[in-house]
Amino acid sequence: MSRPAARSAPRAAPAPKAPAVSASLDLRERLALLMHEGALEPKRWREFLEGLGQRMKGAATLLLRSPHVAEAGLLYSWGGSDEVLAQYAHSYFPSDPFVNLPEKQVISLHEFVPVEQLEASRFYIDYLIPWDAIYNLGVDVRDGDRLYARLRVTRGRNAGNFTASEKRFVEYLVPHFDIAMRTHAALDVTKMERAIYADAMDHLTLATVILDASGHVIHMNALARDILHRQDGIALANDTLALTHPADALRLREAINRAIAAGRASKPGIVDVLRARRPSGAGHYGMMIRPAAGSMGTEEPAVSPAVAVFISVEEGSQTPAPVDTIRKLFELTHKEAQLALCLANGRSLQEAAGDLGITLNTARAHLRSTFSKTGIDRQARLVRAILRSVAQLGG
């Protein structure tokens, strides 16, 4: 049987040249990506402005904070001279009519301000004409008092005013501009909150370590760093707390797991207390483990505080007073902590109210609040928890 003749594979037809619009689409996508990346790395915004300025045949500026008397503001730019920007920031910004644009609407200066009014203004005569910045295109995004960002493109008389096609190009970028600016503003707020949180942590008079839901350390205050640096029975290993003695290490792991589980179940105030031995033979560590404030029911447990570990060293004379210890460990007010300590010392609720100079009804209100914060619902259980915690932590 004869075989059929082999047929040669057809040659692929040459690929057609991509139309010019394809390059424009690729540029839009690249600029959108750079805008989003700038929320994390602001230097990317300069690359964005370079691409936009080249496409629009002009200079591009992103203004995030307005200039005022004390400073020149916060802006990124491409294509304009430093002298022009300095003149604008220090002299002409207050008279700029191209501000407070309709939100997320791409509009030109000549559309926004009537031509006769614009060309008669000092801003136009003293600034735009001498610097040949006649034509301007802009878009603004806002988020209450937290954000007012402006994107501007400027070019000279010979380039002509911006066309409808150029405006559509910028309009494609507006949703990306809006999201990137909101992301940047939110990250700024988060950085500020973290700085405040870290500062507050360092002012605690107890060594404090905060763990995430995986048991990894996400923050510690100065006292805790000092204790861990000694490596006397407790240290950091793979970003987790490690105790030298195996039995202590097991109890700590179990306590952390219980605190994580309690936090996920939205149970406040579940507390474990343990003592940890030190190879040096010095006094024990007292440790209290509890769900961290703000971790209850979180959607992102891996990145949220989950467990707070408080550490006290028996040897020191700097152990905080029992009332301060109770207040910090159980997140009580000073009066609530005083009341709890009075009860732990065997006073009745009425006697404790008299000792503290408050009414019995006020004492009852403090006790109810304490029950709510600690997750304990009986006075006897509260007394046992207070006594055990103060004893273990050397209060």
Q: Residue 327: helix, strand or coil by DSSP? A: helix
CA 190 vs. chain centroid, Å, equals: 2
From first CA to last CA, the distance across the chain in angstroms is 101
CA atoms within 13 A on the CB side of 124: 17
Separation between Cα atoms, residue 334 and residue 348, nearest integer Å: 19
Separation between Cα atoms, residue 274 and residue 254, nearest integer Å: 11
CATH match for 21-191 among 3.40.50.300, 3.40.50.720, 3.30.470.20, 3.30.450.80: 3.30.450.80
What angle (nearest 5°) sits at the alpha carbon of residue 13, between those of residues 10 and 17?
170
- Please state the domain extents for the chain: 21-191, 204-319, 321-395
CA 262 vs. chain centroid, Å, equals: 25
Nearest in space to 303 (alpha carbons), one of 316, 312, 294: 294
What does the pLDDT read at residue 22? 53
Whether 303 and 317 have beta carbons less than 8 Å apart is answered as no
The DSSP-derived string for 49-73 is HHHHHHHHTSEEEEEEE---SS---
What does the pLDDT read at residue 286? 82
Instruction: Kindly report the backbone phi and psi dihedral angles of residue 306, in degrees, each rounded to the nearest multiple of 5, phi listed first.
Output: -120, -40
Question: Which residue in this structure is represented by tokens 């290993």?
Answer: 237
What does the pLDDT read at residue 270? 64
With residues binned 3-state (H G I as helix, E B as strand, rest as coil), the percentages for the chain, rounded to 5, are: 50, 20, 35
What does the pLDDT read at residue 80? 80
Instruction: Kindly report the backbone phi and psi dihedral angles of residue 239, in degrees, each rounded to the nearest multiple of 5, phi listed first.
Output: 65, 20
Write the DSSP symbol of residue 145. B
Question: Which residue in this structure is represented by tokens 């006897």?
Answer: 380
Helical H segments across the chain, by residue range: 20-38, 43-56, 82-87, 109-112, 115-119, 122-123, 164-202, 222-230, 246-264, 322-330, 334-344, 349-356, 360-374, 379-392
| CATH superfamily of this structure's domain 204-319 | PAS domain (3.30.450.20)
What does the pLDDT read at residue 89? 73
What does the pLDDT read at residue 319? 47
- Whole-prediction pTM value? 0.53
Separation between Cα atoms, residue 79 and residue 57, nearest integer Å: 9
- Helix (H) or strand (E) segment spanning residue 231: none
- Mean pLDDT per segment of 10 residues, for the chain of length 395 residues? 38 45 74 93 93 95 67 75 77 85 95 93 90 94 83 94 95 95 82 64 72 85 87 90 92 89 69 83 81 52 67 57 72 87 84 90 89 78 70 54
What does the pLDDT read at residue 309? 86
Residue 14 corresponds to which tokens in the numbers above?
């040459």
Topology of 321-395 in CATH? Arc Repressor Mutant, subunit A (1.10.10)
On the 0-12 / 13-18 / 19+ scale of CB atoms within 10 A, 308 is buried
Q: Residue 267: helix, strand or coil by DSSP? A: coil
Separation between Cα atoms, residue 338 and residue 63, nearest integer Å: 53
Whether 120 and 129 have beta carbons less than 8 Å apart is answered as no
Are 204-319 and 321-395 equal in CATH topology?
no
Name 378's bridge partners: none
